[in-house]
């Protein structure tokens, strides 16, 4: 069991899921947001179907369910499903009444700590693009964009054992500076186009041609895969 503090400085305990959690998990899975954001379960299911799914989940050695508890209350779950080639699919639900308090990051982080137990998996989470809180939660736990389709992204994290918490903070700081600096670059462009449009266009054309050359080299590289 892992004990951590979340944003409201309350203790969070992580424990294995039990048969007695079936009702709580049913309520959380049934919640509209959870259904809307799940790739597989885009429709409601009855209690019997849920029980079948839940029993199979607990009995399957390739799948692990963890429950987060605060003040004796169950506040959410993290599920790990082992796939091929070290890949482990991760999903998270925070109980509807506990959402929006910054719980998801520490719930995921703590569940990962308990799950790892000396393993070095590649975690993957499929997240709906509209699901901003979920994407934030995975990004804050060091997941990066691995794949993208029209409505979903796959966020992944290779586990090497290195403590990367402070690395993510530095990377997030760089990301936010870059975002701001991008606005500065676009402002220069606007200035150039309004004060010397012909010369600015000529320069832009050269930049675009060179970018095309770089892209061709990149394609040479990726075609070799």
CB-CB neighbours of 93 under 10 Å: 24
Q: Please, which of residues 10-29 interact with ligand COA by CB under 6 A? A: none
Q: Binding residue for ligand COA (CB under 6 A) from 12, 93, 111, 112?
A: 93
At closest approach, how far in Å is the CB of 128 from ligand COA?
Answer: 7
Tell me the number of residues near ligand COA by CB under 6 A. Answer: 23
**CA 162 to each of CA 97, 125, 134, 152, 166: distance values in angstroms, whole numbers, following the listed order:** 34, 20, 24, 28, 11
At closest approach, how far in Å is the CB of 67 from ligand COA?
Answer: 13
146 binds ligand COA (CB under 6 A): no
Eight-state DSSP code of residue 60: -
Q: Which two tokens stand for residue 189?
A: 């462009």
Kindly tell me which of 33 and 146 has the beta carbon lying closer to ligand COA.
33
Kindly tell me which of 14 and 94 has the beta carbon lying closer to ligand COA.
94
Q: Binding residue for ligand COA (CB under 6 A) from 104, 111, 115, 153?
A: 104
Q: How far apart are CA 67 and CA 90, in angstroms?
A: 13
Q: Which two tokens stand for residue 125?
A: 């989470």
63 binds ligand COA (CB under 6 A): no
Q: Which two tokens stand for residue 221?
A: 């590289």
Q: How far apart are CA 143 and CA 129, in angstroms?
A: 15
Q: Which two tokens stand for residue 132?
A: 């901003």
Kindly tell me which of 154 and 192 has the beta carbon lying closer to ligand COA.
154
Q: Please, which of residues 166-225 interact with ligand COA by CB under 6 A? A: none
164 binds ligand COA (CB under 6 A): no
Q: Please, which of residues 116-135 interact with ligand COA by CB under 6 A? A: 125, 127, 131-134
Q: Which two tokens stand for residue 66?
A: 């963890």
What b/e readout covers 184-216, taking b as 16+ CB neighbours within 10 angstroms?
eeeeeeeeeeeeeeeebeeeeeeeeeeeeeeee
Residue pair 215/207 in contact by the 8 Å Cβ criterion:
no
At closest approach, how far in Å is the CB of 35 from ligand COA?
Answer: 9
Please report, as ranges, the residues that interact with ligand COA according to CB under 6 A: 33-34, 37, 91-94, 99-105, 125, 127, 131-134, 136-137, 140
């Amino acid at each position: 069991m892992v004990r951590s503090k979340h944003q409201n400085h309350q203790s969070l305990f992580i424990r294995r899921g039990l048969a007695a959690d079936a009702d709580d998990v049913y309520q959380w899975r049934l919640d509209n947001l959870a259904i809307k954001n799940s790739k597989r379960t885009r429709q409601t299911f009855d209690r019997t179907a849920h029980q079948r799914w839940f029993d199979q989940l607990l009995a399957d050695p390739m799948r692990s369910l963890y429950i987060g508890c605060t003040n004796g209350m169950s506040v959410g779950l993290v599920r790990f499903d082992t796939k091929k080639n070290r890949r482990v699919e991760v999903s998270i639900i925070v109980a509807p009444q506990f959402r929006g308090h910054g719980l998801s990051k520490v719930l995921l982080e703590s569940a990962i700590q308990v799950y790892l137990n000396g393993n070095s998996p590649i975690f993957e989470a499929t997240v709906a693009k509209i699901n901003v809180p979920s994407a934030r939660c995975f990004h804050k736990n060091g997941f990066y964009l691995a794949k993208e389709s029209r409505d979903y992204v796959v966020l992944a994290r290779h586990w090497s054992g290195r403590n990367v918490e402070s690395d993510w903070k530095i990377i997030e700081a760089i990301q936010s500076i870059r975002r701001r600096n991008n606005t500065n670059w676009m402002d220069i462009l606007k200035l150039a186009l309004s004060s010397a449009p012909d010369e600015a266009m000529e320069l832009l054309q050269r930049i675009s041609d060179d970018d095309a050359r770089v892209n061709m080299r990149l394609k040479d590289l990726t075609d070799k895969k």
